[in-house]
Amino acid sequence: MKKKIIIISVIAAVLVIGAAAVINMLYNPLNIGINPLQTTNGQDQTGKRLEISFSYDKVRMVASSQYAFWIEDMDGNYVDTLYVTSWTAQGGYSYRPKSIPIWVAARPADIGSSEIDTIAGATPRPGDYVVVWDFTDRNGNPVTGTEYRYFIEATMNNDDDVLYTGVITIGEEAWSYNPVPEYTVPDSEYKNMIANVRVAYYPN
C-alpha cells in the first residue's frame, strides 16, 4: 500500500512540474528576450540605428507592469511602436483604461492584430533589455526626416506611471545620454520597474 502511495505521489509531482513548464512557456515566452525586445547579452547590432537600453524589474501587483516604446515625428504624428506589452496592446486597455494611456491614445485607430503581433510581447523576467529602431515607419518604409521624438511610457501600478521622452537627431555623429524620468507619483515605491534608461544613436 505504501509503495502505491509513493508511486502515485511521484506521478502527481511529475504532472505538476510538467504543467508548470507548459504554463511558463505559454505565459512567459520572453524568458531570454526575443525581437523586438532583446537581452543586452545578445549579438551586437550594426548599421544606423537607435538603441534604447533599460533595466526591468517586475511589479507583482494587479494593474501593473505594462509599458510601451514608440516613435512620433516632431508634429506629433505616430511613426511606429518598437515594443508594447501584449496585454494592453491586445485590448487590455478596454478593461483597464489607466494602462499606458498615452500610448493607447497615440496608436493608430486602424492598427490591426497582425501589426500588434510584430510589436507586442509578454512582460519578460527581470533583467537588462534593449529595443532598437531601424528608422522605418509602421509600414517598413525608411523615414525621411532628421528629427523625431521617442516615448517610453510605463504603468507601474494603477495611476503610478513613468514617462521618458526626448528628441532623436539623425546626423553623422553618434550620441547617447540617460533621459530624465517624469513620475506621476514622485515618491513611487516602484521606480525600479523601468530604470537605467539609456538612449544611443549610431550613424553606421
Q: How far is residue 169's CA from residue 25's CA, in Å, rounded to a whole number? A: 39
134 contacts 65 by C-beta, under 8 angstroms: no
Q: How far is residue 144's CA from residue 140's CA, in Å, rounded to a whole number? A: 12
Say whether pLDDT at 21 is over 50: no
Burial class for 130, CB neighbours closer than 10 Å (0-12, 13-18, 19+) = buried
77 contacts 70 by C-beta, under 8 angstroms: no
Cross-strand bridge partners of residue 2: none
**3-state class (DSSP) for residue 78:** strand
Q: How far is residue 57's CA from residue 189's CA, in Å, rounded to a whole number? A: 12
Cross-strand bridge partners of residue 69: 83, 152
CB atoms within 10 A of CB 90: 14
**3-state class (DSSP) for residue 172:** coil
CB atoms within 10 A of CB 59: 21
pLDDT exceeding 70 applies to what percent of the chain?
77
Can you give the pTM of this predicted structure?
0.80
Please write the tens of the pLDDT for every residue from 84-125.
Answer: 999 999 999 998 999 999 999 999 999 999 999 999 998 888
Please write the tens of the pLDDT for every residue from 27-81.
Answer: 333 332 334 666 555 446 678 999 999 999 998 877 789 999 999 999 999 999 9
